[in-house]
Structure 1
Amino acid sequence: MIEASLRARGPYSLRLSIRLGSDATRIAANGRLRAVYEIDGRLEIAEVGQGADGTLLVRAPSQEVVERVRFALGIDDDHSDFLARFSRDPFLGLTVRRFKGLRPLRCATVTQALLRALCGQLITARRAREIERRIVRAATPSLDGLHAAPTPATFARFSPAELRALGLGGPRASALVRLCRTLDLERLRGESTEAAAARLVRESRIGPWSVGVVCLEGLGRYERGLVGDLGLVKLLARLRGRRVEGWETAELLEPYGEWAGLASVYMLAGLKQGTLGVPERLAA
């Protein structure tokens, strides 16, 4: 068993970043994370906590699992530039200052992030997570109650009808099976964000929001915002006092440029906590 002490590049709060992060592959509770990873066909569990000095303490069976944890937490992807640029932003500034240690928790595989995106289309987050859990638990092996993250091979052996029976809508089930049979999703981590996004949107069921989810939680990229997210739709509707369409949320994210994906995460956090301002450009 390895016990590793890790330091994040830039501000990082494990408690903030893993909040609501539990799924079929991991449990986040009391500021600690317990997650399973598949390494060369075997399952290994890592446990992570954070000391008062900010050091992340990882306990895992192998160094490979420690590296998987590094990626999942995003601790090597310093977002200090985002904090410096937008800490005084009229809309997002208070949220940025209050939650500066927040980074999105990543899935163990790109395939799981794609499943999450397809499950989450046009339904509540709670219902989407229920469907995702059910599918992962039915599809992958487990260790001590935690299931391995799916890979393309996992869903390539399923039929769309089998996934529909588990709760994933027909066209989305077909899209997942088709992509897993025709594309090595895990290799997208080696592609540029633009190239990966371009490949994904060739599939008719993959739109801007789904690409944003895969980029943030599967590839670990901050450039692509969650355009069309239901939370952002509600936020923009509240700001404008009228019903808005999903595509209009791109205007919320446009000022944040290459940080649009991370800005999405902070906006959703600010929406829940009531820490967002009302910029004049969005009030009309």
Structure 2
Amino acid sequence: MAGGSPPAPAGASLEVEVRPPWPYRLPGGGGGDAVMRVRRGVATRLVHVEGEPVVVRAWQRRDGSVVLHAAGAGADRLRVAIERMRFALGVDDDYRALYDRFRADRLLATAIRRVRWHRPRRRPWAWEALAWSITKQLIESGRAAAIQRRMVFRWGARWEGPDGSTLRDVPSAELLAGRAPAEVAAVDLAPARALALIRVAREVARGRVDPADPSDDQRLLAIREIGPWTIQCLGLYGRGEPDSLPAGDLGFIKVVGRLAGLGRRATVEEVEEFFAPYAPYRGLAGSFVLAAYHRAVAAGPPLRLAA
């Protein structure tokens, strides 16, 4: 890493070196919500572990190994912070079993070879994946990212470095649980989804739901505006479930419409049918296919809506 380690918060620190078992590239961007920052090859993220702020930085060496450095809390919290960022960055993911199983599949094997370094963009905490999936319901990704940024700048915890840099975290469930629906809707979130987000936050804040526990999904589904797509996003991006496919995602609807030769956008059922042969890796298969072919879909003529 050029120039040495950037400034870190006061307190203990922990550094871990990981050699990824599968081809890896550190993300080139932060993802659009203004939480993770990537500059000069260093990914920086503020996370909170049991309420304590920890700044985690990650960079990749020329030999392919990845270094994660955490600072700002006690040793146990530092270990948790690094563990969660290893999960979010997919450093330890090994897709050999997926590739070997579908080596003869022209579509998926080609997709994996094209973007071998691809990883689903996961979140360090399941709560973040759940909250952000609600903000993304039925809208384009650019608009969803703008909503997320407004939430982060309005309610996210901040950390200011000695170099004048500022990092922000995703608003906690406890904080969003205390917001009024009109406040949340004011960031451009549809009123019904603003109310759903607050209700979900209250369930999580009061300990009635643990987003990291799949056995609590039925309690989430009982909340109005929370459906299968939200839970599938939570599974893939918040819990790392390889078979969780967010079939209602606009990207999948478009890519399947193109790859299946439908001449239109696919339905959710058609997306599920298209990726059914890839169980128990439907979510991973979909992520690789979307990463490999989304540019071709975007370059083609617009797809009409399914009837």
1:214 matches 2:214:
no
Aligned to 1:241, the other structure's residue is in SS state coil
The sequence identity of aligned pairs, in percent, is: 30
Aligned 8 A contact 2:111 2:293 in 1: no
1:100-139 to 2 correspondences below 5 Å: 100-139=116-155
Aligned 8 A contact 1:74 1:220 in 2: no
1:188 matches 2:211:
yes
1:214-233 to 2 correspondences below 5 Å: 214-233=234-253
1:59-78 to 2 correspondences below 5 Å: 59-61=69-71, 62-78=78-94
Distance 2:23 2:40 in 1: 16
> 1:5-64 CA deviation, whole Å, 9 max, x = no partner?
1123x304133x555635332113454311111134332211111123221111221333
Aligned 8 A contact 2:58 2:68 in 1: yes
1:179 matches 2:200:
yes
Distance 2:88 2:265 in 1: 36
- Shift of residue 243, structure 1, vs aligned partner: 4.4
Aligned 8 A contact 1:12 1:75 in 2: no
Distance 2:29 2:105 in 1: 24
- Shift of residue 151, structure 1, vs aligned partner: 2.6
What amino acid does structure 2 have at the position aligned with 1:13? Answer: Y
C-alpha spacing 1:196/1:99, structure 2 compared with 1 (3 Å): farther
Aligned to 1:262, the other structure's residue is in SS state helix
Mark the runs of 5 or more structure 1 residues left unpaired by the alignment: 276-284
Larger mean Cα displacement after TM superposition, 125-134 or 150-159:
150-159
Aligned to 1:48, the other structure's residue is in SS state strand
Q: CA RMSD in A?
A: 2.3
**Whose RCO is larger (CA < 8 A, sep 6+)?**
1
Match 1:7 to one of 1, 4, 19: 19
Larger mean Cα displacement after TM superposition, 142-151 or 173-182:
142-151
- Shift of residue 71, structure 1, vs aligned partner: 2.1
- Shift of residue 135, structure 1, vs aligned partner: 0.9
Match 1:84 to one of 75, 82, 100: 100
Q: What number of residue pairs does the alignment pair up?
A: 270
Aligned to 2:111: 95
Flag the structure with higher helix content: 1
- Shift of residue 224, structure 1, vs aligned partner: 0.9
- Shift of residue 176, structure 1, vs aligned partner: 0.9
Distance 1:244 1:261 in 2: 17
Larger mean Cα displacement after TM superposition, 131-140 or 104-113:
104-113
- Shift of residue 107, structure 1, vs aligned partner: 1.5
Aligned 8 A contact 1:14 1:31 in 2: no
1:263 matches 2:275:
no
Mark the runs of 5 or more structure 2 residues left unpaired by the alignment: 1-12, 72-77, 161-165, 298-307
Aligned 8 A contact 2:127 2:211 in 1: no
* TM-score w.r.t. length of structure 2: 0.80
